[in-house]
Every structure is written in structure tokens, then in C-alpha cells.
Amino acid sequence: MALRRRQLGNTGISVVELGLGAMDTPHSPQAVETVMSALDLGIDFIDTARGYEGSEHLLGRVIRERGGKTFVAASKTFSHTANGSQWEIDKSLSVLGVPFIDLYQLHDISTERAWDEAMADGGALDGLKTAQYRGLIGHIGISTHDLALARRAIESGEFATVMVEHSAFFPESAPVIELAAERGVGVIVMRPVGGSGRTSAMRGRIERGYTGPLTPANLLRYVLSNPAVSVAIPGARFPSRIIENVATASDYTAMDEPERRELEAEAARLYE
Ligand SMILES: NC(=O)c1ccc[n+]([C@@H]2O[C@H](COP(=O)([O-])OP(=O)(O)OC[C@H]3O[C@@H](n4cnc5c(N)ncnc54)[C@H](OP(=O)(O)O)[C@@H]3O)[C@@H](O)[C@H]2O)c1
């Protein structure tokens, strides 16, 4: 079996459904090897951000060492102003060492105030549109932890992609993901295996003999079983995680509804 591809909404870009979230990857002695193994094993979508310390530098180093960018790169800005977001894009381009970034996102627009600022005249969205017009970025996306704002972003028609949390720990984002798919907005799933605290707890339980269904592999299967998702971006600091996640994504059967409900119930009991 092989990794499967999906469309990133209506962007015209197709990516392998398993990507890499490079937020924590730099905080590892095996950072470069982790990104290299992701690319070697076929992952072709990597998410970074100005706000992820060392992450754009790490990807820039990998791009240089490989002699060019061979993956779809997505970065983000915390800025809410047009000037600030353009400055951030210039910085991303120079740190990554590329002339063009495929997807640039407004980062963590999770309050009404953040939304109002970023969407106002002279706000960050205006800056991203200017950069797009100048040919510096391909598509504009948004990330949020607020599902009502995710819905508003999708309905606004301004964004090519939306990044939301989704997993058996957080199934409530499913309707928003469905809406995005209906509207041709690409869906990037952050925290697909539940985040570092929970995965560490899960790994500890498994080492102590737990044999139930709540495993990182099944959590990944849960997200990939949703056809409305474009790409899931589990974080990783070690090549071993990449190898395991690629093995899962290369050969899985989609979860049916009862299996999904069982995993959600098991996830809710993690800390009992
Ligand atoms: N836009 C936002 O506001 C926002 C917020 C959060 C995250 N994100 C994005 O989403 C990405 C992923 O989020 P996340 O890292 O918070 O959560 P996550 O992907 O659900 O969890 C990452 C954790 O899972 C562990 N892991 C991954 N694969 C594993 C496997 N096969 N077996 C055991 N453990 C495994 C990693 O371990 P190791 O680290 O030890 O390898 C890491 O601790 C980030 O990198 C970032 O790109 C965006």
C-alpha cells in the first residue's frame, strides 16, 4: 500500500494526506533527520510558522541541504496588521531561502478581537493579499481554535484553507470540517493525535501493558478516515514517529462509525 493523496480544497494543489507539523521538531537532537525522513518517505506538506521557534530555520536548512524545496510549505503570521504580515512574509521567505511560499496563514485567530483586527481595512488579510498579488505567496489560509470563527472564515470566502483541531479527543470540529469541504476550503488538521501531553501519557500506558484501542496509530486512522480532511499534520521530533505514522497512513482501513465512537469514548477516559 502507498500513501494516498488528497486535494487541498480548491487550491489546485494535491498533497499526501499525512503531512508534518514542524512546531516542535526543532526541539530535538534529531530535528534535521526527522524532516529528512519525512521527505524521504513521501510526506510533501509541512506546516511551520513565524511563531514556532527555530522551525522555519530548520526547514530552510533542509531545503538548502536537499538543493531545493520539494514539498508544499505552509507558514503563518501572528501579526494582525497589513504592514506586519508583509514584513513577516519577507522574513519567512528569507529564512526558508525560497522566493515563494505555497500557503500563508493567519495564525490562531481565535477571538472576536483577533478576527476584527486581522479582517479590518489595513489588517493582516490585506497584507497577505498584497503579498499574493506580488507573487510571494500562493494561497491564503487561517488557523483557529474557535469553531464559530472557523465557520465564519469558511463562509467569508476569503480563505483557501482552514486549520482546526480534530481528533477522537476533539470530535466536535467534524461539522465545521464538513462545511469546509462542501465550500471547497482545504482542511488542515492540527493536533491529530491529541497533542504532546496526551501522546506521552498514551505511550506510558502502552509501555505498562495497555492493549486497548487508544493508540497514536488509531488516532491517526480516525482523522484520515474522514474524507472531508485534506491533510493531517502530526507533530514529530524523531524519525521513529515519522516511520510509524507513514506505516499507518500507508496501510489503513477507514474506521466505521461504531469504531469511531468507541475511540472517542476511550479517549475521554485517558486520564481516569
Ligand atoms: N495553528 C495553531 O494554533 C496550532 C496549534 C497547535 C498545533 N498546530 C500545528 O499542528 C501540528 C501538530 O500539533 P501538535 O504537535 O500540538 O499535536 P499532535 O500532532 O497531535 O501531537 C504531537 C505529539 O505526538 C507525538 N507523536 C507523533 N506521532 C507519534 C507516534 N506515532 N507515536 C507516538 N507519539 C507520536 C509527538 O511526539 P514527539 O514530539 O516526541 O516526536 C508529539 O509529542 C503542530 O506541529 C503545528 O504545525 C497549530
Bridge partners of 46?
Answer: 20, 73
1 assigned to some structural domain: no
32 contacts 58 by C-beta, under 8 angstroms: yes
pLDDT at 113 over 80: yes
The residues lining ligand 1, judged by C-beta closer than 6 Å to any ligand atom, are: 21-24, 47, 107-108, 143, 163, 190-196, 199, 203, 216, 233-238, 241, 244-245
107 assigned to some structural domain: yes
Mean pLDDT value across residues 61-84: 98
Per-residue model confidence (pLDDT) at position 130: 98
Band of pLDDT at residue 27, cut at 50, 70 and 90: very high
Residue 78 CA, ligand 1 centroid: distance in Å: 19
CA distance linking residue 209 with residue 190, whole number of Å: 28
Q: How buried is 182 (Cβ within 10 angstroms: 0-12 exposed, 13-18 middle, 19+ buried)?
A: exposed
Residue 268 CA, ligand 1 centroid: distance in Å: 19
Residue 234 CA, ligand 1 centroid: distance in Å: 4
- 12 vs 272, more confident: 12
Number of H helices, E strands in the chain: 11, 10
Mean pLDDT value across residues 53-57: 98
Residue 196 CA, ligand 1 centroid: distance in Å: 6
Q: pTM of the full predicted structure?
A: 0.98
Mean pLDDT value across residues 127-137: 98
Band of pLDDT at residue 270, cut at 50, 70 and 90: very high
For residue range 221-245, list pLDDT tens digits in order: 999 999 999 999 999 999 999 999 9
Which of 72, 198, 199 maximizes ligand 1 atoms within 8 Å of its Cβ, making it the mutation to test the pocket? 199
Tell the residue number behind the cell numbers 481595512, with chain if given.
121
CA distance linking residue 215 with residue 227, whole number of Å: 21
Band of pLDDT at residue 1, cut at 50, 70 and 90: confident
Pairing of strands 45-47, 137-143: unpaired
- How far is C-alpha 171 from the geometric centre of its chain's CA atoms? 16
Take atom 19 of ligand 1 and give the residue whose Cα is closest: 234
5 assigned to some structural domain: no
pLDDT at 272 over 90: no
Write the CATH number for 260.
Answer: 3.20.20.100
2 assigned to some structural domain: no
Take atom 42 of ligand 1 and give the residue whose Cα is closest: 196
Question: Given phi > 0 = left and psi -120 to 50 = alpha, else beta, which region is 234?
Answer: beta
CA distance linking residue 50 with residue 48, whole number of Å: 7
Q: Which domain holds residue 87?
A: 16-268
Residue 133 CA, ligand 1 centroid: distance in Å: 33
Count the domains in the chain: 1
Band of pLDDT at residue 171, cut at 50, 70 and 90: very high
203 assigned to some structural domain: yes
- Pick from 199, 174, 175, 186: nearest CA to 260: 174
Pairing of strands 186-190, 5-7: unpaired
CA distance linking residue 116 with residue 125, whole number of Å: 11
CA distance linking residue 27 with residue 86, whole number of Å: 27
Band of pLDDT at residue 97, cut at 50, 70 and 90: very high
**For ligand 1, what atom is nearest to the CA of residue 236?**
41
Residue 23 CA, ligand 1 centroid: distance in Å: 8
- To the nearest whole number, what is the mean pLDDT of the chain? 98
CB within 8 Å of 239: residues ≥ 6 apart: 30, 33, 34, 36, 37
- How far is C-alpha 100 from the geometric centre of its chain's CA atoms? 19
Take atom 43 of ligand 1 and give the residue whose Cα is closest: 196
Mean pLDDT value across residues 98-120: 98
Band of pLDDT at residue 127, cut at 50, 70 and 90: very high
Whats the size of the chain, residue-wise?
272
6 assigned to some structural domain: no
For residue range 176-219, list pLDDT tens digits in order: 999 999 999 999 999 999 999 999 999 999 999 999 999 999 99
8 assigned to some structural domain: no
Give percent of the chain above pLDDT 90.
99
CA distance linking residue 202 with residue 252, whole number of Å: 20
3 assigned to some structural domain: no
